[in-house]
Amino acid sequence: MKKVISQATIDRLPLYFRTLRLVEEEEKQIISSDELGRRLDITPEQIRKDLATFGQFGRKGIGYDVHELKNKIANILGLHNNWRLAIVGIGHLGGALANYGNFDTLGFSVVALLDINENIIGSEVNGLKIENSALMKDVIEKKFVDIGVITVPASEAQAVAEQLIEAGIKGIWNFAPIKLSVPANIPLVNEDLSVGLSALSYHMSQC
């Protein structure tokens, strides 16, 4: 039942989803792969190939039903799960993520903020109180947290990952610049800002 879909295709799906949501807000009911391609700067052939991976949606010469396609992609990406996030490490980056408005539109909610620093425990960010990392297991159980977001320094990230897994987390989104060891049944995505910046540097050097 579980088809293997390439990482590159998976990475494009949120772009499709977001564009379809905008198109839906414009009250358009049908969109062609040409127009979707124009809006995303992706070839229509690539779009048709990506979407064909998941079955037959479009109607030849007409296009895709915007609402149907949007919901189908949300299902493929698992966005209907309304994943609940806990951010561990409320420094600058953790604070920025706590305030980042765009998660809601994708069906994610930040439900807990955790930190070890007693000076900030109890204070609020974006309406959420920062709780004590020492109580992680309680907080995560009580708030039904699915995803642990790691924004602590690299030196603490592995220990925090282990605490999160011990507390029953189902997936980890890691911002610390370090390779984490996690069990195979815990999906892990690393977000590394230096990768994008280095790619930019590379392309600028070629100019």
Q: Which residues bind its own copies (CB under 8 A)?
A: 2, 7, 10-11, 13-15, 17-18, 39-41, 76-79, 81, 83, 91-93, 95-100, 102-103, 106, 108, 146-147, 170-173, 177, 179, 185, 187-207
**Smallest gap, in angstroms, from Cβ of residue 59 to its own copies?**
26
Considering beta carbons, is residue 29 or 82 the nearer one to its own copies? Answer: 82
**Beta carbon of residue 29, minimum distance to its own copies (angstroms, whole number):** 22
Nearer to its own copies, 16 or 64 (CB): 16
Smallest gap from Cβ 122 to its own copies, in A, equals 20
Of 30 and 154, CB closest to its own copies = 154
Judged by DSSP in three states, 129 sits in strand
Closest contact distance (angstroms) between CB of 111 and its own copies is 15
CB 96 → its own copies: shortest distance, Å?
3
Q: Which is nearer to its own copies, 60 or 92 (CB)?
A: 92
The Cβ of residue 6 has, within 10 Å, a number of other Cβ atoms equal to 10
Q: With the C-alpha atoms ordered 39, 42, 44, 47, is the resulting torsion angle positive or negative?
A: negative
Least gap, CB of 60 to its own copies (angstroms): 27
Residue 183, phi-psi category: left (phi > 0), alpha (psi -120 to 50), beta (remainder): beta
Handedness of CA 48, 52, 54, 59 (dihedral sign): positive
Q: Which is nearer to its own copies, 159 or 189 (CB)?
A: 189
Q: CA dist 127 to 42, 98, 99, 112, 113, Å?
A: 38, 9, 9, 10, 11
**Closer of 98 and 112 to its own copies (Cβ):** 98
Q: How far apart (Å, rounded) are the C-alpha atoms in residues 115 and 151?
A: 10
- Closest listed residue to residue 72, CA positions, set 59, 54, 92: 54
Q: Which residues of 9-42 are buried (b: 16+ CB within 10 A; e: fewer)?
A: beebbeebbbbbeebeeeeeeebebebbbeeeeb
